[in-house]
C-alpha cells in the first residue's frame, strides 16, 4: 500500500532489469520540487453487490465515472501511518484510550492457523538471490574504493555541532561556530581587510562547490552502468505502460459500446417495469384509501341491522390497514381514534342488546315451542362479546335469570288465585294468598310452579348450550390456528418463481426484488380473500398481496362476517380473541351458570314451601298428604338434577326440616294414641279382624307396606278370628298390639315414601317400641291397670296375654330392623343398635312375666303345704287344693301360650312344689323308710302326678317326683 499522496505510477519489478540488479524505489520525499505524483488509475473491478441497494449507489460506475476521482482511489498504509518517523512522539493512548490499558500489555498467543516458519522455507529464495547478492556486494565494495578520496568537508571539525539537537543557524553562536570568521560579527562597517576576507571566503565556497561537483561527477562515472541500465528499463516500462493504456482504452470503448447497445435497453425495460409496479401499488393504495374512507358509513349500515360482529370485523380490518399499509397518511390521522370510539359504542350496544335478548328469552310465554329464541342473533352477540373480551356478559344473564325466576312464582300464584273465588287478590298479599289456600289448592300451585321451573331450566340449558358451543368453537379454532401457524413456520419457504435471481447494478440501484415481485403478487392473490377472512397473517410492507386487496373484497368481508355459522369462529385472530385460559374459564362459567339456575329454581321453591309452612300448616298434614308433598319435591329434585347435572340441596333441606317437624308430630300423635290405648286396655283377649290378618300375611310375604283399604262391603263377609296367625303360630293378643303393628307399619311406610327421614323415623319407632314395653310393664307387672282401668286384680291370664303380646312384637323387631337396614348407608348402621337394646328389654320383660307366674304358684304352694299333715284320709285335702289351683293355672294359660312355653312354665312350677313339699316333709320328719307315713305321702304324690299329667300338653311331662325325698346319707 502507498501513502496518502497516492501510489507510484511506475510499479517496480525485481526481474525487470537485464543485469539482474535490484534497485530500491525512489523515495518521494527526496524528489525535486518540480516532480508531481500522478494519480492512480481507477479500479476497473469493483466488488460485487451484496444485495443492499444503498451501498451500491455509493460505488462508481466503471463506464460513466472512469475519469472522476472517487473515494476508491484513496489508499492508506496503516503501518506507515502508525510508524511515521516524522511524528514527534507516538500517541501511546491510540488504542488504550478506547480498549483499555491491557491492550498493549497483553501477550498475543501464536496463531494455530499460521505455519511455523523456519530457514528451510527461505532456502529456495536464497538460492535464487544468491547470485544477485554477490553482484551487489561486489558493486558495494567497488564504490567504497572509489570514494576513498581526500575531499575536505565542513563537518570534519564541526561534526558534533551538526549532530546537536539545538543546532539552529539563527542562533549567532551556532552561526559563528559554523563560519569561524569572527570579524564578520564585529560592529561597524567593512574595511579592506574585511573585503579581502570576504573574497577569500567566496573562493573557499567556490572551491567547495567545485569539489562537490567533481565528487558528483566521479560518483556518476562510477555508477554509469547502473544508471544507463535503469534508464533503459524505465523506457521499456513506459512502452509497456503505453501499450497497456491503449488496450485499456480499447476495452473501455468496447464496454461503452456494450453498455450503449446491450445494457441500456434492458435496464430501461426493468426501470419501466419498476415504474409500472410502483404505479400499480399507488393505484391499489388509492383504492384501499377509498375503501377505508367508506368504513364509517358501512359500519353505520351494519349497526342499523344489528350486525355487530361484521361491524367489529370491519373496524378491526380498517385499524390494521391504517397501522400497516396507510400509516402516516395525513388525511386519516383522526380515523383511528374515531374507530376506537365507534368500537366502544358497539361494546355498549352489544351489552344492551344482550340484556334485551336475555329479558325477552327468559320472560316469554311458556306456551312457545322454541327452546332457543333467535339462535343466530344469540350466536352473533356471544361471538361479538367474546371478540371484544366482554367476558362478564354471563353476569347479566344471571341477574335476568333471578328476576325471571321470581316472576314465574308470581305469575303462577296470580293465575291460581284467579281460579279461587274465596280469595280476594286485590286486598291480600302474595304470601297470604298461599296461606289462605287449602292444601290441595296449594299443592296444585306447587306442582304448577315445579312444571314451569322445569320448562324454565330446559330453556336455560338450551340457551347456555348455544353459548357454550360458541365458546368451545372459538377455543378449538384458536388452538387449530396456533397449530397451523406452527406448521407454516416450520414448513418450506415459498418459491419466488421461475425467474432466475440476478444481481445487477445500475446507477447504484439493486433491482433483484423486481424480478420476482410479480410472481409473489400472483401467488398471494389466490389467498387474499382467505387471509381477509381469517386475519391470520399480517400485511407486510414487502407483500404486494396486502396492497392489491380491493375495496369490494373488504366490503364483502364485512358484510359476510356476521352471517357466518358457529364454525366461523376462525375468522378472529388469536391476538384479538381471549386466551385459551380465558375461554376455558368462560366455558366453565357457562356450566356453573346452569348450576346456578338449578339452585335459583330450588331457592324460589323453598320460598313457596316456607311461606306455606310459616303458620305450621305443613306440620298438620296427614301422612298421605305429606307423602304426596315429599314425592312431588323429590321428583322435581330428580328432574332438575338430571337436567342440570347438579344436586341442589336447598329444597331437599327445607323439605327435610319440614319432614323432621312432620315426623315429630307424626310420632307424638301415635305415641299419644298408644298411651291412650294402653290406658284403656283391660288386657283381655281381643278378636282379630280379617284386615289385620291380611296385614300380617303381607308382612310374611316380604311387603312391609300398608295395604290399600278395601271396600266396606267386602270386609264384612269375613268374620274376625280369635287368634292372630303369624308364621304358623297363634298369638292371642289385645287390641292395642294390633294397632301397634299397624303403627310400626306406618313408620315403615313413611320411610318408603320419604327416604330422607330414615334415621329420624328409626329413632322415633324405637322410642315407640320402648314406650309400649315400659307402659305394659307398669300396667301389668306393676299393677298399674288396677288404678288406670279399674281392674280388680291382675290375673295369670292377664300376665300370660301380656307376655304373648310382647312375644308378637319381639317377633317383628328383626323384620323391622332388616327393613331399615336396607335403607341406611353403611356408615349409619350403628343406629341399628337400638333394636338390640329393645330386643333385650322385651326378653327381660317376658322373663319377668314368667317369673311372676311361677311366683304366684310358689306363694300358693308355700301357704298350702305349710298346713300339710300326713294322715288319713288320702289323698289329703291340701293336695286336692294344690291340684285344683294347678288346673286353674293351666286353664288360664293353655290357650294363650304355646305348648312348649306351657311345659317349661309347669316344670318350673313343679320344681317349686317339690321344694316346698320337701321342706314340709323335713319339718314333719317323714322320710322314705317304707313306713306308714311314707306310704301315705306316696299316695298324695301319686295323686298330684296323675292330676298334673292329666292336663293337656302335659301328658309326657317328666315331673321327677323322687327328688322330693332327701337322699340317705
Q: What is the pLDDT of residues 693-724, one digit of tens each?
A: 888 888 877 777 776 655 544 445 678 888 89
| pLDDT confidence of residue 180 | 62
Residue 785 CB neighbour total at 10 angstroms: 22
Residue 527 pLDDT exceeds 50:
no
Rounded to an integer, what distance in angstroms lies between the CA atom of residue 936 and that of residue 941?
9
Q: Which residues pair with 488 in a beta bridge?
A: none
Cross-strand partners of 345: none
Domain with CATH 1.10.357 in the chain: 664-706+720-853
Residue 950 DSSP SS3: coil
Backbone angles phi, psi at 725, to 5 degrees: -90, 120
Cβ atoms of 448 and 416 within 8 Å: the answer is yes
Task: Return d(Cα 626, Cα 655) in angstroms, integer.
Answer: 10
Residue 593 has pLDDT above 90, yes or no: no
User: What's the pLDDT score for residue 708?
Assistant: 63
What was the pLDDT predicted at 411?
86
The average confidence (pLDDT) of the chain is 75
Which backbone phi and psi does 548 adopt, to 5 degrees? Answer: -95, 5
Q: Which CATH number fits domain 870-965: 1.20.1280.130, 1.10.10.60, 3.40.50.1970, 1.20.210.10?
A: 1.20.1280.130
- Using only C-alpha atoms, what is the Rg of the chain? 67
- Average pLDDT for 13-32: 41
Residue 150 or 275, more confident: 275
What per-residue confidence (pLDDT) applies to 474? 81
CA 609, 611, 616, 621 dihedral sign is: negative
CA distances from 515 to 7, 274, 519, 812 (A): 41, 9, 8, 104
Tell me what the mean pLDDT of segment 302-326 comes to: 75
Q: Rounded to an integer, what distance in angstroms lies between the CA atom of residue 332 and that of residue 215?
A: 90
Which residues are within 8 A (CB) of 568 and not within 5 positions of it... i.e. 6 or more apart? 561
Query: Which residue shows C-alpha cell 280388680?
Result: 792
Percent of the chain whose pLDDT exceeds 70: 73
Q: Which residue has the higher pLDDT, 161 or 441?
A: 441
> Hey, what's the cell of 502?
440476478
DSSP secondary structure string, 169-221? TTSHHHHHHHS--GGGGSSS---HHHHHHHHHHHHHHHHHHHHHHHHHHHHHH
Q: Which residue has the cell 538471490?
A: 129
The number of residues in the chain equals: 969
Residues with Cβ within 8 Å of 300's Cβ and at least 6 positions away in sequence, in order, are none
pLDDT of residue 778: 92
Q: Does domain 664-706+720-853 fall into CATH 1.10.1760?
A: no
Q: What angle do CA 95, 98, 101 make, to 5 degrees?
A: 65
Which pLDDT score is estimated for 763?
A: 92
CA–CA gap between residue 572 and residue 549 (Å, rounded): 19
Give the model's pLDDT for residue 5: 41
Listed in sequence order, the residues at least 6 apart from 75 whose beta carbon sits closer than 8 Å to its beta carbon are 1, 2, 6, 7, 40
Picking from 725, 736, 726, 723, the residue whose alpha carbon sits closest to that of residue 896 is 723
Of 194-203, 670-679, 780-789, 882-891, the range with the lowest mean pLDDT is 194-203
Three-state DSSP state, 729: strand
CB atoms within 10 A of CB 118: 8
Entry pTM: 0.53
170 vs 814, which has greater pLDDT?
A: 814
pLDDT digits (tens, 9 = 90+) for 318-376: 777 877 777 777 777 777 777 787 777 777 787 888 888 888 888 887 777 677 888 88
The mean pLDDT of 791-806, rounded to a whole number, is 91
Cα distance between the two ends of the chain: 158
* Grid cell of 820 as nine digits: 331399615
**Are 416 and 444 contacting, i.e. CB atoms less than 8 angstroms apart?**
yes
Band (pLDDT 50/70/90 cuts) for residue 183 is very low
Q: For 231-258, how does the pLDDT look when each residue is reduced to its tens digit (9 = 90+)?
A: 888 888 999 999 999 999 999 999 999 9
Does the pLDDT at position 832 exceed 50? yes
Beta strands in 476-584 (DSSP E): 505-506, 509-510
Q: Spell out the SS3 assignment of 18-50.
A: CCCCCCCCCCHHHCCCCCCCCCCCCCCCCCCCC
pLDDT confidence of residue 98? 63
Strand partners of residue 729:
726
Pick from 678, 658, 946, 947: which is nearest to 805 by CA?
A: 678
- The Cβ-side half-sphere exposure at 713, using a 13 Å CA radius, reads 0
Question: Furthest-apart CA pair in the chain: how many Å?
Answer: 225
DSSP 376-439: HHHHHHHHHHHHTT-TTHHHHHHHHHHHHHHHHHHHHHHHHHHT-TTS-TTTS-HHHHHHHS-H
Q: Do the beta carbons of residue 964 and residue 900 sit within 8 Å?
A: no
Rounded (5°) CA angle 541-543-544: 115
Between 19-33, 84-98, 666-680, 826-840, the lowest mean confidence (pLDDT) is in: 19-33
Whole-angstrom distance, CA of residue 808 vs CA of residue 770: 14
CA angle 913, 916, 921 (to 5 degrees): 120
Range in 9-18, 139-148, 151-160, 376-385 the model is least confident about: 9-18
In the DSSP assignment, the letter for residue 260 is I
Provide mean pLDDT across the span 151-157.
Answer: 45
Residues forming beta bridges with residue 14, ordered by sequence position:
none
User: Range(s) for CATH 1.20.1280.130 in the chain?
Assistant: 870-965
Task: Report which of residues 666 and 771 the model is more confident about.
Answer: 771
E strand or H helix that includes residue 751: helix 735-753
Distance between CA atoms of residues 36 and 26, nearest Å: 13
- Contact, 662 vs 619, CB < 8 A? yes
pLDDT above 70 for 117: yes
Cis peptide before 873 (omega within 30 of 0): yes
- d(CA 754, CA 600) in angstroms, rounded, equals 24
- Omega of the bond leading into 309 within 30 degrees of 0 (cis): no
Given a contact cutoff of 8 angstroms between Cβ atoms, the answer to whether 372 and 468 are in contact is no
Amino acid at each position: 500500500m502507498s501513502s496518502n499522496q497516492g501510489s507510484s505510477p511506475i510499479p517496480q519489478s525485481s526481474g525487470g532489469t537485464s543485469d539482474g540488479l535490484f534497485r530500491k524505489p525512489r523515495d518521494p520525499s527526496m524528489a525535486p520540487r518540480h516532480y508531481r505524483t500522478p494519480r492512480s488509475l481507477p479500479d476497473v473491478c469493483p466488488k460485487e453487490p451484496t444485495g443492499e441497494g444503498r451501498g451500491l449507489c455509493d460505488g462508481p460506475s466503471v463506464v460513466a465515472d472512469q475519469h472522476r476521482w472517487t473515494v476508491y482511489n484513496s489508499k492508506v498504509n496503516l503501518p506507515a501511518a502508525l510508524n511515521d518517523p516524522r511524528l514527534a512522539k507516538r500517541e501511546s493512548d491510540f488504542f488504550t484510550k478506547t480498549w483499555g490499558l491491557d491492550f498493549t500489555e497483553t501477550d498475543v498467543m501464536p496463531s494455530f492457523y499460521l505455519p511455523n516458519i523456519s530457514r528451510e522455507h527461505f532456502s529456495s529464495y536464497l538460492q535464487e538471490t544468491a547470485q544477485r547478492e554477490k553482484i551487489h556486494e561486489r558493486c558495494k565494495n567497488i564504490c567504497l574504493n572509489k570514494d576513498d578520496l581526500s575531499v575536505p568537508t565542513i563537518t570534519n571539525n564541526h561534526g558534533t555541532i551538526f549532530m546537536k539537537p539545538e543546532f539552529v543557524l539563527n542562533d549567532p553562536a551556532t552561526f559563528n561556530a559554523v563560519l569561524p570568521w569572527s570579524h564578520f560579527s564585529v560592529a561597524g562597517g567593512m574595511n579592506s581587510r574585511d573585503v579581502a576576507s570576504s573574497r577569500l571566503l567566496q573562493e573557499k565556497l567556490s572551491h567547495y562547490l567545485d569539489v562537490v561537483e567533481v565528487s558528483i561527477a566521479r560518483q556518476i562515472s562510477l555508477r554509469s552502468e547502473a544508471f544507463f541500465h535503469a534508464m533503459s528499463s524505465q523506457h521499456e516500462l513506459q512502452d509497456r505502460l503505453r501499450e497497456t493504456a491503449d488496450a485499456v482504452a480499447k476495452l473501455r470503448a468496447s464496454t461503452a459500446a456494450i453498455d450503449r447497445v446491450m445494457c441500456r435497453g434492458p435496464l430501461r425495460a426493468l426501470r419501466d417495469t419498476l415504474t409500472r409496479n410502483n404505479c400499480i401499488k399507488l393505484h391499489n393504495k388509492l383504492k384501499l384509501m377509498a375503501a377505508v374512507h367508506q368504513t364509517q358509513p358501512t359500519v353505520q349500515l351494519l349497526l342499523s341491522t344489528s350486525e355487530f360482529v361484521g361491524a367489529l370485523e370491519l373496524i378491526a380490518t380498517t385499524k390494521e390497514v391504517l397501522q400497516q399499509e396507510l400509516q402516516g397518511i395525513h388525511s386519516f390521522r383522526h380515523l383511528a381514534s374515531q374507530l376506537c370510539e365507534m368500537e366502544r359504542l358497539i361494546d355498549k350496544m352489544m351489552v344492551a342488546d344482550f340484556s334485551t335478548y336475555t329479558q325477552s328469552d327468559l320472560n316469554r310465554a311458556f306456551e312457545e315451542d322454541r327452546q332457543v329464541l333467535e339462535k343466530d342473533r344469540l350466536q352473533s352477540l356471544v361471538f361479538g362479546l367474546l371478540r371484544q373480551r366482554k367476558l362478564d356478559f354471563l353476569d347479566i344473564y344471571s341477574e335476568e335469570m333471578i328476576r325471571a325466576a321470581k316472576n314465574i312464582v308470581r305469575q303462577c300464584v296470580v293465575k291460581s288465585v284467579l281460579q279461587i273465588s274465596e280469595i280476594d287478590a286485590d286486598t291480600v298479599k302474595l304470601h297470604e294468598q298461599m296461606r289462605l289456600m287449602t292444601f290441595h289448592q296449594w299443592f296444585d300451585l306447587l306442582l304448577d310452579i315445579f312444571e314451569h321451573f322445569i320448562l324454565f331450566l330446559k330453556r336455560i340449558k338450551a340457551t347456555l348450550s348455544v353459548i357454550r358451543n360458541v365458546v368451545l368453537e372459538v377455543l378449538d379454532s384458536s388452538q387449530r390456528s396456533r397449530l397451523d401457524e406452527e406448521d407454516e413456520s416450520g414448513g418450506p419457504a415459498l418459491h419466488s418463481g421461475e425467474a432466475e435471481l440476478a444481481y445487477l447494478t445500475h446507477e447504484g440501484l439493486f433491482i433483484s426484488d423486481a424480478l420476482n415481485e410479480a410472481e409473489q403478487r400472483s401467488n398471494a392473490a389466490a389467498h387474499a380473500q382467505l387471509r381477509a377472512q381469517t386475519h391470520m397473517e399480517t400485511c407486510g410492507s414487502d407483500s404486494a398481496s396486502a396492497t392489491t386487496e380491493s375495496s369490494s373484497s373488504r366490503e364483502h368481508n364485512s358484510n359476510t362476517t356476521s352471517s357466518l355459522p358457529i364454525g366461523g369462529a376462525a375468522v378472529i385472530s388469536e391476538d384479538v380473541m381471549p386466551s385459551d385460559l380465558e375461554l376455558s374459564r368462560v366455558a366453565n362459567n357457562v356450566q356453573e351458570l346452569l348450576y346456578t339456575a338449578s339452585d335459583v329454581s330450588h331457592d324460589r321453591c323453598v320460598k313457596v314451601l316456607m311461606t306455606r309452612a310459616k303458620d305450621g300448616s305443613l306440620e298438620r298434614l296427614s301422612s298421605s298428604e305429606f307423602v304426596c308433598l315429599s314425592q312431588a319435591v323429590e321428583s322435581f329434585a330428580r328432574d332438575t338434577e338430571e337436567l342440570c347435572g347438579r344436586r341442589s340441596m336447598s329444597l331437599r333441606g327445607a323439605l327435610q326440616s319440614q319432614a323432621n317437624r312432620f315426623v315429630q308430630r307424626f310420632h307424638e300423635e301415635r305415641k299419644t294414641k298408644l298411651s291412650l290405648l294402653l290406658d284403656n286396655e283391660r288386657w283381655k283377649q281381643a278378636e282379630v279382624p280379617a284386615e289385620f290378618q291380611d296385614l300380617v300375611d303381607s308382612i310374611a310375604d316380604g311387603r312391609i307396606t300398608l295395604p290399600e283399604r278395601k271396600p266396606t262391603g267386602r270386609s264384612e263377609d269375613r268374620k274376625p278370628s280369635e287368634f292372630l296367625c303369624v308364621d304358623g303360630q297363634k298369638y292371642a293378643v289385645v287390641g292395642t298390639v294390633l294397632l301397634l303393628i299397624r303403627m310400626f307399619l306406618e313408620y315403615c311406610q313413611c320411610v318408603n315414601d320419604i327416604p330422607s327421614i330414615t334415621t329420624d323415623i328409626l329413632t322415633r319407632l324405637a322410642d315407640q317400641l320402648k314406650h309400649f314395653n315400659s307402659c305394659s310393664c307398669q300396667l301389668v307387672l306393676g299393677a298399674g291397670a288396677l288404678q288406670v282401668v279399674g281392674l280388680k286384680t291382675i290375673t295369670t291370664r292377664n300376665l300370660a296375654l301380656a307376655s304373648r303380646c310382647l312375644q308378637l312384637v319381639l317377633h317383628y323387631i328383626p323384620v323391622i330392623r332388616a327393613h331399615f337396614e336396607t335403607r341406611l348407608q353403611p356408615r349409619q348402621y350403628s343406629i341399628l343398635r337400638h333394636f338390640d337394646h329393645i330386643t333385650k328389654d322385651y326378653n327381660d320383660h317376658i322373663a319377668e312375666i314368667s317369673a311372676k307366674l311361677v311366683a304366684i304358684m310358689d306363694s300358693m304352694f308355700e301357704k298350702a303345704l305349710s298346713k300339710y299333715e300326713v294322715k288319713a284320709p288320702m289323698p289329703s285335702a291340701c293336695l286336692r287344693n294344690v291340684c285344683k289351683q294347678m288346673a286353674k293355672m293351666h286353664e288360664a294359660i293353655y290357650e294363650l301360650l304355646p305348648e312348649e312355653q306351657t311345659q317349661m312354665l309347669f316344670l318350673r312350677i313343679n320344681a317349686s312344689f317339690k321344694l316346698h313339699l320337701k321342706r314340709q316333709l323335713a319339718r314333719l320328719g317323714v322320710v322314705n323308710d317304707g313306713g306308714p307315713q311314707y306310704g301315705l305321702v306316696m299316695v298324695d304324690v301319686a295323686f298330684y302326678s296323675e292330676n298334673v299329667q292329666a292336663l293337656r300338653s302335659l301328658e309326657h311331662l317328666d315331673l321327677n317326683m323322687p327328688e322330693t325325698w332327701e337322699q340317705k346319707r
